[in-house]
Amino acid sequence: MKKSEKSPLLLRVKGLSYRIIQMRLLMKILKWFLIIFFVLSIARGQNIEIVPFRLVPSLDPHCQIKVEIVEPVTFLSVPDVYKEEILDILIDRAVFEVTNPFAINEPFRVDDKFYHLVKIPNTGGDWNQPYWMHSE
């Protein structure tokens, strides 16, 4: 064989190595793309306010069940008018989740803030008992 001629076996081996190099390069690019995508998605993540609610008996003859909502901590710095509107929306959403089981555990958005309602059992206790109140 002359030096200028290359064997077909050597060409196949080199072609295979080029394909391996291309696949490795593609995998590296894909890996970095995924890393950058996840980092950016975590950086843009939204905080979700978890709001517990429960259904309690009511003395109203027309509606015998009442929705009690534990106010989120973020409501301490919110004006009263806005707080009442948000509480009405949360109560309506709680009724929606109870009457439509397919909508349970879905976060929803109110004015750029995400909320997640969690139903807790009714133990017969009251939220306003003395051991719940404390002064700081």
One domain, residues 102 and 68: yes
Is a pLDDT exceeding 80 seen at residue 10? no
**Structural domain of residue 53, as residue ranges?**
48-128
Residue 32 CB neighbour total at 10 angstroms: 10
One domain, residues 56 and 123: yes
Instruction: Tell me which residue of 127, 130, 126, 107 sits closest to 117, measured CA to CA.
Output: 107
One domain, residues 83 and 110: yes
pTM (2 decimals)?
0.57
One domain, residues 65 and 37: no
One domain, residues 23 and 70: no
Q: Which has the minimum average pLDDT: 38-42, 52-56, 107-111?
A: 38-42
One domain, residues 92 and 114: yes
Q: Total structural domains in the chain?
A: 2
Instruction: Tell me which residue of 70, 63, 120 sits closest to 97, measured CA to CA.
Output: 120
pLDDT single digits (tens) 55-106: 888 877 787 888 888 887 778 888 889 889 989 999 999 999 889 888 787 8
One domain, residues 52 and 17: no
One domain, residues 34 and 52: no
